[in-house]
Amino acid sequence: MKTFKNILSWVLPIVVGLLVATVIRHFVFTMVRVDGPSMEPNLENNERVAVVKTAKIRHLSVIVFNAYKVDPDAKEKGVKYVKRVIGMPGDTVSARDGKIYVNGKAIKQNFISQFERTQGTGNWDLYSLSNRNEWTLQTTKVPKNSYFVLGDHRSVSNDSRYWGFVPKSKVIGVVKVPIWDTSAKKRHNVNSLGY
């Protein structure tokens, strides 16, 4: 009996700890690795970031979502993309000469350089994108429970300009860069821009 109590005294805390860690990972936050250059210069390829599942999504939030059945090229169920939210449900979104307009107002894009804004963003609105790319839904506004997302490195990013909107149900959470990682400016550009 004494041996059983001794074993239980160290097994029980381990089991409880594993259960708590599982609950936190499933409901609160998890870690993911950035794959590819589409969020440069703010997030680098292979960088590890936290994904806060309980954080509120805002304009310019950086999110992680399951791209399977969002992007036709995402053929595997576990494929995750990291992108920046430009349009929220009900927004109109357009781009002209390196400027992005949300509901007719140019947004501040201080998180990327002028060169990055003008090289690759293109000139478009939601209706022209939906026609050009033959989306099932042809619209002038971001649909209910959906987001329009772009990569920061626009000239190489595979994003909403090509395959459309990200359903809210596919969003895993909002990206937060740990304080010990990367530069203060890059952390600010990822962690603090949401409005």
- Dihedral of the alpha carbons of 153, 158, 164, 169, in degrees to the nearest 10: -90
Please confirm, yes or no, whether 130 is among the known catalytic residues.
Answer: no
* Strand pairing category for 62-66 and 48-52: unpaired
Question: Is residue 83 within 8 Å of residue 142, measured between CB atoms?
Answer: no
Question: Is residue 175 within 8 Å of residue 62, measured between CB atoms?
Answer: yes
**Which is catalytic among the residues 61, 83, 146, 160?**
83
Give the pair of three-digit tokens for residue 50.
């936290």
Please confirm, yes or no, whether 83 is among the known catalytic residues.
Answer: yes
- Residue 47 in 3-state DSSP? coil
- Residue 63 in 3-state DSSP? strand
**Which is catalytic among the residues 5, 9, 38, 75?**
38
Q: Which DSSP string corresponds to 113-170?
A: -HHHHHSS--SEEHHHHHHHTT-SS--SSPPTTEEEEE-SSTTT---HHHH-PEEGGG
Q: What is the set of active-site residues? A: 38, 83
